[in-house]
Amino acid sequence: MDYLADVCTRWASCPQTAMKALVVGMGVSGLSIARYLAAEGATVLAVDSRREPPCLAATAAISGVKAQSNTNIATWQKSDFDSYDLVAKSPGIPLSHITAPVEKITGDAALFADAWRRNPPNTTLLAVTGTNGKSTVTELSAQLCTAAGRRAEAIGNIGEPLLDAWQRWQQTAAPDVAVAELSSFQLETASNFTSDIAAVLNISPDHLDHHSDMATYTTAKAQLYHHAARRVVNADDTAVTAMTTSPDVTFSATERTTAAWHLTADAIVGDARFALTEMAAPPHSALAALALTDGLSLDTTARRQALANFSRLPHRQQIVSHIDNVTYINDSKATNVASACFALKQLLGNAVIIAGGDGKGQDFTRLATEAQGRVRLAVLLGRDALQLQTAFTNVGIATQQAKNMPEAVFIATQAATAGDTVMLSPACSSLDMYTNYGARGDAFISSCLNMEHRCATQ
């Protein structure tokens, strides 16, 4: 039995001996961890290095929890952690910032897995991770199940914290199916995570400021497969295929494959054929979601309806307007090159893309290469517009710079022709021009709606 399981089992069998827990970080996840541990009877100290963390007041209001801001545990010595049975870190806190014995360090995904082990609900648990597309695949998988008559929920990194969902299920009925989105931050401390079906969608460089290197990042993602009863594998991604020698279901974005599910020029083919022209869901995400839910025996007609009715998540390949037979897509969440490349692969026709912002030293060559044959014009803005311009020009793609989002949308509209897509997929952080990627996406939406009104009144 591992340390976490041993502590929690001893604690459950002898609740009068309160466990002492340290919660690091008072954001939404830290709040959920503190709430869960306090409900289980632990004495909790919650700390945060920020002077006014976002959930300070809510954390301090929990009975049994002491909240302490402006406390930087990166300066603590190893002995400072001796009095705590568990050190539960919020996902975004790097492991390198905590000098506690590694066996004491846990997180929300590990605590969720231990609670599930001790009191398993009558629920099928699907788990999703990957560098790109995991929120869309998680939500779409839940909607496929719902359409087929299952009570399904999407939880975890997509929205409701895992432990909040768990506590809610103790008060009301647990769903038939839960689809959990998990980040590498959560998985690095969750070697115990168990699921009925798991999928690692893809792997590309990301969060290397948090993980020490690419190998560490990949290892964290791979933990999702360690205790999965059924493994769904992207056959096109060598980093993913190397994670397991025994995939149960495979999917591929090419029809020249032996994968159980594959993408053709006009359909997704598996246990049935799903025409791309009949679905609102992004093709690659739909492919992964169909493969993930392959073992659930969902009705085919219901799945077709779910794919046709899917509403894309905000700022993630979100269709926001149609002007003169041109589709406008907000993919502001694409804050790195890999995400923007992923979005480009989802497009069925030609595109005008809007990109730029703070590139954080990325090499844009891969994005420019992916854009060849797909992009007729790249409209560039923000701090690293010139670096993007060089990358696109080097592969023969026309570029034009814009001072702001309204101008970028205007230029893109002028360049697009019937059947094209205008897509904001920046490949960069938004912080050089906006407070976050959501604000950037909202600016794009507003500019598109203004352009739609302008075209309608001309």
Reported as a single tens digit per residue, the pLDDT across 329-346 is 999 999 999 889 989 988
What are the two backbone dihedrals, phi and then psi, of residue 151, each rounded to the nearest 5 degrees? -80, 110
Task: List, by residue range, all CATH 3.40.1190.10 domains of the chain.
Answer: 111-309
Q: Is a pLDDT exceeding 70 seen at residue 16?
A: no
Q: What percent of the chain has pLDDT over 90?
A: 81
Q: What is the mean pLDDT of the chain?
A: 93
Specify the pLDDT at position 327: 95
Q: Are 195 and 117 in contact (CB under 8 A)?
A: no
Q: Within 13 A of 319's CA, how many CA atoms are on the CB side?
A: 17
Which of 160, 119, 163, 155 minimizes the C-alpha distance to 23? 163
Over residues 260-281, mean pLDDT: 95
DSSP letters spanning 41-92: T-EEEEE-SSSS-TTHHHHHTSTTEEEE-S--GGG--GGGGTT-SEEEE-TT
Specify the pLDDT at position 311: 84
**Binding-site annotation, residues for ATP:** 130-136
Q: Is a pLDDT exceeding 60 seen at residue 1?
A: no
Task: List, by residue range, all CATH 3.40.50.720 domains of the chain.
Answer: 3-106
Specify the pLDDT at position 345: 87
pLDDT in tens, 69-117: 999 998 999 999 999 999 999 998 888 889 999 999 999 999 999 999 9
Q: Is a pLDDT exceeding 70 seen at residue 458?
A: no
Over residues 259-267, mean pLDDT: 95
**Given the structure tokens 């560098």, which residue do they identify?**
131
Q: Are 337 and 358 in contact (CB under 8 A)?
A: no
End-to-end alpha-carbon separation of the chain, Å? 71
pLDDT in tens, 151-171: 999 999 988 999 999 999 999
- Please give the class, per CATH, of domain 318-457: alpha beta
pLDDT in tens, 108-150: 999 999 999 999 999 999 999 998 889 999 999 999 999 999 9
Q: Is a pLDDT exceeding 60 seen at residue 240?
A: yes
Specify the pLDDT at position 8: 80
pLDDT in tens, 186-214: 999 999 999 999 999 999 865 556 657 78
**Binding-site annotation, residues:** 130-136
Fold adopted by 111-309: UDP-N-acetylmuramoyl-L-alanine:D-glutamate ligase (3.40.1190)
pLDDT in tens, 279-294: 999 999 999 999 999 9
Over residues 175-180, mean pLDDT: 98
pLDDT band at 253; cut points 50, 70, 90? very high
For domain 3-106, which architecture applies? 3-Layer(aba) Sandwich (3.40)
Task: List, by residue range, all CATH 3.90.190.20 domains of the chain.
Answer: 318-457
Over the range 431-458, which residues count as b (16 or more CB within 10 Å of their CB) and which as e? bebbeebeebbbbbbebbeebbeeeeee
- The Cα 421–Cα 349 span in angstroms is 7
